[in-house]
A and B are shown apart, each in its own frame.
Chain A
Amino acid sequence: MTQKVVVVQDLVKRFGPLEILRGINLEVDKGEVVVIIGPSGSGKTTLLRCINFLEEYQGGRIYLDEQLMGYQNDNGKLVKLPEDTIAKMRADAGMVFQSFNLFPHMTALDNVMLGLTKVRKLAKNEAQDRAVTWLTRVGLGDKLKSYPAQLSGGQQQRVGIARAVAMEPKLMLFDEVTSALDPELVSEVLSVMEDLAHTGMTMLVVTHEMRFAKEVGHRIIFMDEGLIVEEGTPQQIFEQPQTERLRTFLGHFAKTL
Chain B
Amino acid sequence: METVIASGPLILRGLLITLEVSALVLLIGTVIGIGGGLSLLYGGLPLRWLARIYVDTIRGIPLLVLIFAIFYGLPVLGLKVSALIAAVIALSVFCGAHVSEVLRGGVDSIPKGQTEAAKAIGLTFRQRLWYVIFPQAISRIIPPWVNTAVELVKASSLVSLVSVVDLMLAIQQIVGRTRETLLLYAVAALLYFLINYIISMIGLRLEKRFAYT
Contact = CB atoms under 8 A, between A and B. Distances in A.
A178 interface: no
Chain A binding surface, main DSSP class: mixed
Contact of B116 (A54, A93, A114): A54
Interface in B58-91: none
B65 to A, nearest CB: 41
Contacts, number: 76
Nearest to B120: A95
Given A105-B135, A105-B212, A91 B113 contact: no
Interface in B107-152: 111, 113-114, 116-125, 127, 131-132, 135-136
A167 interface: yes
A4 B121 CA distance: 22
- Of residues B117, B132, B136, which shows the largest number of chain A Cβ atoms within 10 Å of its Cβ? B117
Given A97-B113, A105-B212, A91 B121 contact: yes
Contacts of B122: 87-92, 115, 119, 167
B121 A164 contact: yes
A46 to B, nearest CB: 13
Contacts of B116: 54, 95, 97, 101
A115 B123 contact: yes
A257 interface: no
B121 A147 contact: no
A149 B127 CA distance: 23
A226 interface: no
A216 B135 CA distance: 39
Interface in A88-117: 88-95, 97, 99, 101-105, 114-115
A224 to B, nearest CB: 25
B165 to A, nearest CB: 46
A118 B127 contact: yes
Given A103-B132, A149-B213, A54 B119 contact: yes
A48 to B, nearest CB: 10
Contact of A104 (B124, B125, B212): B212
Given A101-B113, A105-B136, A90 B131 contact: no
Interface in A106-136: 114-115, 118-119
Interface string A58-102: 000000000000000000000000011001111111110101011
A238 to B, nearest CB: 30
Contacts of A167: 121-122
A150 interface: yes
B125 A114 contact: no
Contacts of A99: 113
A237 to B, nearest CB: 28
Contact of B123 (A54, A95, A118, A147): A118
A87 B119 contact: yes
A22 to B, nearest CB: 24
A147 B212 contact: yes
A104 B110 CA distance: 11
Nearest to B127: A118
B120 A164 contact: yes
Contacts of B132: 103, 114
A52 interface: yes
A163 interface: yes
A82 B167 CA distance: 54
Given A163-B121, A167-B121, 5 more contacts: A91-B122, A95-B117, A101-B113, A105-B212, A119-B123
17 contacts: A54-B119, A84-B124, A84-B125, A87-B123, A91-B122, A95-B120, A97-B117, A103-B114, A104-B212, A114-B121, A114-B131, A114-B132, A118-B131, A119-B122, A119-B127, A147-B212, A167-B121
Q: Closest 10 A-B residue pairs measured CB to CB?
A: A91-B122, A115-B121, A101-B117, A101-B113, A119-B122, A95-B120, A105-B212, A87-B124, A147-B213, A84-B124
